[in-house]
Amino acid sequence: MAWLVTGGAGYIGSHIVRAFLAEGIEVIVVDDLSSGHEEFVPTDVPFYRGSLLDGALLERIFVEHPVSGVVHVAGYKYAGVSVQRPLHTYEQNVTATAVLLAAMQEAGVDAMVFSSSAAVYGTPDVELVTETTAKNPESPYGESKLIGEWLLRDQAVAAQLRHTSLRYFNVVGSGDPSLRDTSPHNLFPLVFDALVDGRTPRVNGDDYPTPDGTCVRDYIHVADLAASHVAAAKRLDAGESIEPVYNLGSGDGVSVGEIMTTVAAVTGISFTPEVGPRRPGDPARIVASGELAARDLNWEMRHTLDQMVRSAWEARQKAS
């Protein structure tokens, strides 16, 4: 049996595809390439270009392949921009998920690993976010991810869907130099692009109540994240118990200032970042516990900050 990876041509999805293949598990990819890259999909992996809103396409995939479960990574992932594009965000993240679940039910596919987000928490008022921390999304993107979790929960009642949702924070690094983060909004690509273009990277605020005054966030390596998706799929395939949600977090955190210092050391490009004003609503610290995922999903922080930056920089250089 195989697993379908939606969004499998994207940065995170393509790493998940490779993690499945490394375990000898067959995968199929569907992606509309709105932010993904067809060259990220291995040539021997069946690839369907199209939208999850196309129920007929999904029906064809399930007819043509013996799919046992779906890793649902596809979606509109730009939280900030989602405020200006709420209808598009809900269509891509909520309507598309409903269409996918309907196609799965019709085909008798009853297992899903859902790519959720830390954005469901909004600005938490706790030092360490756990799965039970109050949900207070502050953007259409965060709201759409929480609704996605609700859709899975309700479909489990209606159609015995077996599922789990993985909430992750700041995904960085590369597990393969041919795969890189190409988001126009994420920190690593923004910093690398600035350095390559001869510009000085910028931080937003240096007067937060943190050790160096810059925001502290939970950065996790994409290959570690991918491994836990495979572990979740294996658990579902084996009929083992699984929690409805897991945080993939470090239990610690890294400041933006530390990121900048490490980038300078790894790239050999000396710079002092420009300091801009705080962004409205940016909390000083967001860090999550990964204890539940460590217990059940082989979750582990296997990469140091230096390795995260170095692997991402190598992938960026290869693409230049």
Looking at residue 92, its pLDDT comes to 97
Q: Topology of domain 172-217+250-286+302-319, per CATH? A: UDP-galactose 4-epimerase; domain 1 (3.90.25)
198-221 confidence digits (pLDDT tens): 999 999 999 999 999 999 999 999
CA atoms of 247 and 19, how far apart (whole Å): 19
Residues designated as active site? 141
CB atoms within 10 A of CB 245: 20
Q: Which of 211, 223, 290, 300 is nearest to 256 (CA)?
A: 211
Percent of the chain having pLDDT more than 90?
Answer: 92
CA atoms of 70 and 94, how far apart (whole Å): 16
146-174 confidence digits (pLDDT tens): 999 999 999 999 999 999 999 998 999 99
Looking at residue 1, its pLDDT comes to 81
Looking at residue 282, its pLDDT comes to 78
Q: pLDDT at residue 94 above 90?
A: yes
Map residue 308 onto helix, strand or coil: helix
Residue 284: pLDDT band (50, 70, 90) is confident
Looking at residue 80, its pLDDT comes to 84
**For 75, left (φ over 0), alpha (ψ -120 to 50), or beta?**
left
Kindly provide the residue ranges of all beta strands, DSSP E only, lying in 2-140, ordered along the sequence.
Answer: 2-6, 26-31, 47-49, 67-72, 111-117
* Tokens encoding 50: 């199209």
CA of residue 43 relative to chain centroid, distance? 23
CA atoms of 216 and 61, how far apart (whole Å): 42
Residue 319: pLDDT band (50, 70, 90) is confident
40-84 confidence digits (pLDDT tens): 999 999 999 999 999 999 999 999 999 999 999 999 998 889 999
CB atoms within 10 A of CB 130: 15
Looking at residue 153, its pLDDT comes to 98
| Mean pLDDT value across residues 274-288 | 87
Looking at residue 277, what DSSP letter applies? Answer: P
CB atoms within 10 A of CB 204: 14
CA of residue 297 relative to chain centroid, distance? 16
All residues at 6 or more sequence positions from 94 whose CB lies less than 8 Å from its CB, including other chains = 144, 147, 148, 151
Q: Which of 155, 122, 156 is nearest to 141 (CA)?
A: 122
Q: pLDDT at residue 195 above 80?
A: yes
**β-strand pairing of 47-49 with 26-31:** parallel
User: What are the sequence ranges of the domains in the chain?
Assistant: 2-169+220-248, 172-217+250-286+302-319
Residue 320: pLDDT band (50, 70, 90) is confident
The backbone torsions φ and ψ at residue 290, rounded to the nearest 5 degrees and listed phi first, read -110, 25
| Mean pLDDT value across residues 93-119 | 97
Q: pLDDT at residue 2 above 90?
A: yes
**Strand-pair partners of 163:** 112
Q: pLDDT at residue 125 above 90?
A: no
Residue 280: pLDDT band (50, 70, 90) is confident
| Mean pLDDT value across residues 111-116 | 98
* 2-169+220-248: CATH number: 3.40.50.720
Residue 256: pLDDT band (50, 70, 90) is very high
* Tokens encoding 193: 């692009």
Contact status, residue 30 vs residue 56, Cβ threshold 8 Å: no
